Each structure stands twice: as structure tokens, then as C-alpha cells.
Structure 1
């Protein structure tokens, strides 16, 4: 089913029905990222046309957001390593190439899908907390936000790719 978006291909095996939209959005983000970042040079990866965020930033940030939201979804606080990663998302690192960033993001999405598969749908409305301020939310709210936020940054990434090519 080429040229058909992930959500139109049917359910993702092993993912609870109520979490299918989260899985679909994460897998669509992955497919779009692979498609649009192929063949980018390091200069294109870190370019900031019109002062916009670089493609490299978006790749790092999408991975980080998924990791952080799923950590909060598990009822945990962020680790020192996660805070370090967050601080580094905006730093240009010419040593990092597209292939490495995409592979790391794919691993994060794979881990997210494994976590989604293990979620008991009866717990989706349970209270969870976001950030150091402990903003109240729900398990499904955090999982959905991870996917929705990833999609927003994929859209920005695609526009930036078009500008740098």
C-alpha cells in the first residue's frame, strides 16, 4: 500500500486499540523523516534558513520529546542524563550526521511502540504529572502529546528540508 499513510493501513499489531493513533503518528513521523532527510549533507543538516531551527535540532528534539513524555507517562521524573540531552538539543554538532540522528530516533520510536504495547487501556485516564512543576495530566495525554509534538516538528523539518535543498 504505497503512498498510503500509516493510519490508513490498519491497526498496528500488539498495540491497544485506544493507542493506535499514537502508534500511527509515531510511525508516520519515522517514515516522513527517513524520506525527507535522505541525502542531506552535514551543512544542510545544521543550516538555519531564515533563522529557523535546523533539521538536526528537530531530529534531536523529536527523539528527546518522545523519551521525556514516555518517562513522565511511566510516572517517573527525568534523569540527569535526560536533562543533559535536553540542553544539548540546540547545540550544533558537526560530528553528528543524518544517518546517526535518524537511527537514534528510530530506536526511540521502536522503544515507544514496545511501551505502548504493554499499556493497559484501563489505566489511560490515570493521573500523571508533567515536568518539575508537576503539571497534572493523564497517561493518555502524555502519550498523545509525544506523538502530536513529534508530528509538529516533522512538519517544520520538512519545510526546512525544502529550504536547504
Structure 2
């Protein structure tokens, strides 16, 4: 799609139906990240998913982490603690299960998590946004809106890191994934 044909960024497309006014920026950021990541990862080879540049995180890690962080932060925002499955998923981030993951699988997981987050935002009661929430085993202090805001900020930060990593890997290996020199 040519630049002139591109839609404006999500935050410039207007209000998202059903999302409380104070949570619109969070929903906009999550949906913007989803659009950018889906476009970025189209055609990205599975064989490069776990490649690292200069010892930095691989695209596979970023995709696992993006979905995982959203799941965890939105769990805390509900006033809940992480369950056994979530803790195991956290430990597995950056490690390809059974040796491999496909790009499409990781993208589908991320997209599903964004959908779950948007649903939770739509169900949010704006009067609870300043309520305290404990984070992690240490119950570090935050608030509902603090967790939602951090989820959006953290997602965009990793989206940027993923973009750079994928672009460099794609340019470096443009069709030649057999002779990798980067570790």
C-alpha cells in the first residue's frame, strides 16, 4: 500500500466504540501495535524467528513477550495474581517450545491477546482506575490505570525493538537463511 493510501494511525481514526474515554489511548496503542506487527511480520521467515542481533532479543522472544506481558498486566489490573500457567509461560519466553514456533502461531497468539485486552478495557469501570493493585509476588504498588498505561507503553517499546530487529535480519539475510553469521 502506498503511503498516500495508508489509513491514519489508530489514534487519529476516532473514538473506539465501547472503550471508556480515559482508556481510549491504551486501546489505540494496542491496536496500532497489532497493525504494525502484523504488517511487519508478513512474509518473515520462520527460520529467522530466533536469531539475535548483537546479543539482543530475537523476534520470537519479542512476539512471545508482547502477548505474555499484556496477559500478565491485565491480570493484575483485574486484581488477580498470576496462575501456574502464566508463570510457566513467563519462564518459557524466548525459548522455542519443541525447538520451533511459527511466525503465524506467535502472531495469532498476540492478536488474540490484544482482542482480550480490548474486551477487558470495554468492560472496565472508570471509577476503579485509581484503585491500588499489587504487582507480582512482592505486591509492588500500582493502580488499574497505571497497569493499563504501562501495558500500552511496554507494547509500543517492544514493537519498536521488534521492528528494528526484523528489518535488519530481513535485509541481512534477504533470501539466504542458510549462511547465518549473527549470533
The corresponding residue for 2:32 is 28
Work out which of the residue numbers 149, 161, 172 in structure 2 matches 1:156: 161
Please state if 1:6 is matched with 2:10. yes
- Write 1 or 2 for the structure with the bigger share of helix: 1
The corresponding residue for 2:150 is 145
With structure 2 as the length reference, what TM-score do the two structures score?
0.87
With structure 1 as the length reference, what TM-score do the two structures score?
0.97
The corresponding residue for 1:91 is 95
* CA drift at 1:92: 3.0
Structure 1's unaligned 5+ residue stretches are none
Please state if 1:53 is matched with 2:57. yes
Please state if 1:64 is matched with 2:68. yes
Larger radius of gyration: 2
Please state if 1:136 is matched with 2:135. no
Q: Distance in 2 between matches of 1:85 and 1:143?
A: 20
* CA drift at 1:30: 0.3
Work out which of the residue numbers 123, 128, 131 in structure 2 matches 1:126: 131
CA RMSD of aligned residues (A): 1.1
Q: Distance in 2 between matches of 1:96 and 1:121?
A: 38
